[in-house]
Structures are given as structure tokens and as C-alpha cells.
Amino acid sequence: MNRILIAEDEPRIVTFLEKGLRANGFTTTVAKDGHEAILMANSEDFDLLILDLGLPGKDGWIVLEELRGQGEQLPIIILTARDEVRDKVAGLEGGADDYVTKPFRFEELLARVRLRLRDNRLPKGKEEMVLSASNIILNLRTRQVQVGDRLIELSAREFILTETFLRHPGQVMSREQLLSHVWGYDYDPGSNIVDVYIGYLRKKLGGNKFETVRGIGYRLRT
């Protein structure tokens, strides 16, 4: 099981990240300032660091500089509100493996986390680019979705929602999980948007593929 170190001091973001990452099989540890982030990264065995630049104590720039200066090869994804091109360039040239700006959608961050972990551990060409379950085939590279011999056109949100189900076939996904995965951390918990989009997928991919689990959420039948 992959261990993720989250260096972030904003409680709302921390809660959102931990909930989403744990729901996808990761274990998480939180560093609330730059000093803690460096200490934990050096003393514990983590697989990836999600690093905010605006940390108290030592900011994220210093954390990145010190870790890379020590020869630490831990994959680092910067997660920050700083969206200037010069900041992104500085972060990547300073040794970060990726740079994601806030506000962000969890599903995009999750894809980048998985990509960096694959890059760090698997030979090139081994990445899983096709997901399939319940006679649905989804190609992450071409963004095509196929049911049987039919190609189906999906919107961007429908595609991400389908990908989420295909990564968890047979697993009950709560509305809250689906909201956070597809619509990001700035979602309205009282919204019925998940139910609306499940309706879209049933029309396009098959009405019997998505089971309603009363009081909880939905499951992709396998």
C-alpha cells in the first residue's frame, strides 16, 4: 500500500485530500509546516509527497530545495494556489515532478499521483491505459469509451465519472465520494448532480449497469 505525505496547513484541503486518497487505497500522513515535512520525508518511508508552497515555518520552496539538495528522490507534486507560469517553471526546474494549481479536481490530482508512482516503479510502457468492466471499455489515452461494439460519446464529467466506477468495479461509491472525485473539493454536499449524471450514464452506457444502493450511493455491476 502506497504511503502519501501531505504537507498542507489548510484543514479543509487536508480533510479533502485524506478522504479521497484513503478511499483509493492510499495511507496518508500530514505535515502541517515545512519543518515537519522535511523531518518526516527524511525519517519515514513515503512513496510520494504532496507539497503546498505556502507552508508556515519553512515554505514549500525551501522544503523542495532542501530535500533535493540532500539527494532525496521521493516523487513530489506541488499543490498550490500560485498559478503564475514563472512559479510553475521554478517548481519543476527546482526538482518537483508535477505542479497542480488550486482550485483543483481530485480526479486530476489522483491521476497525477498514480502516474508519478508508476513512473517511479514501473518500466516504461507498462502503464495501464485501458480500463474495462461490465462490458465497458475505457481508453485513457484516446479518451474513447466502448460498450460492446459501439463507441459512445461522453462529456468530460461523464468520462471522469465512468473512470471512477471502472477503477472500483462492484464497490459501492457514496455520493460524497463521487462528488469529491469528479467535481472537486469545492462541491455542494446537498447537490443532486451525481444522480443527474448517473441518469446520463444509464442512458448512454446501459440502464442495468449502475445499481442504486439505497441510502448510500451507486455501484457498477460486474
189-220 pLDDT, tens digit per residue, is 677 889 999 999 999 999 899 999 988 899 99
Fold of 130-220: Arc Repressor Mutant, subunit A (1.10.10)
Average pLDDT, the chain: 88
Fold of 3-121: Rossmann fold (3.40.50)
Residue range 146-172: mean pLDDT, rounded: 90
pLDDT of 46 over the 70 cut:
yes
d(CA 163, CA 171): 13
Q: Where are the domains of the chain?
A: 3-121, 130-220
pTM of this structure: 0.59
User: Quick one: pLDDT at residue 128?
Assistant: 58
DSSP-derived pairing of the beta strands 136-139 and 144-147: antiparallel
The three cell numbers of residue 59 are 515554505
Higher pLDDT among residues 31 and 215, named by residue: 31
Question: What are the Cα distances from residue 60, in Å, to 3, 8, 54, 98?
Answer: 20, 9, 6, 14
Residue range 163-169: mean pLDDT, rounded: 89
d(CA 75, CA 120): 8
Residue range 127-155: mean pLDDT, rounded: 86
pLDDT of 166 over the 50 cut:
yes
User: Quick one: pLDDT at residue 6?
Assistant: 97
d(CA 22, CA 133): 22
The three cell numbers of residue 19 are 478522504
For the segment 50-67, what is each residue's pLDDT rounded down to a tens digit? 999 999 999 999 999 999
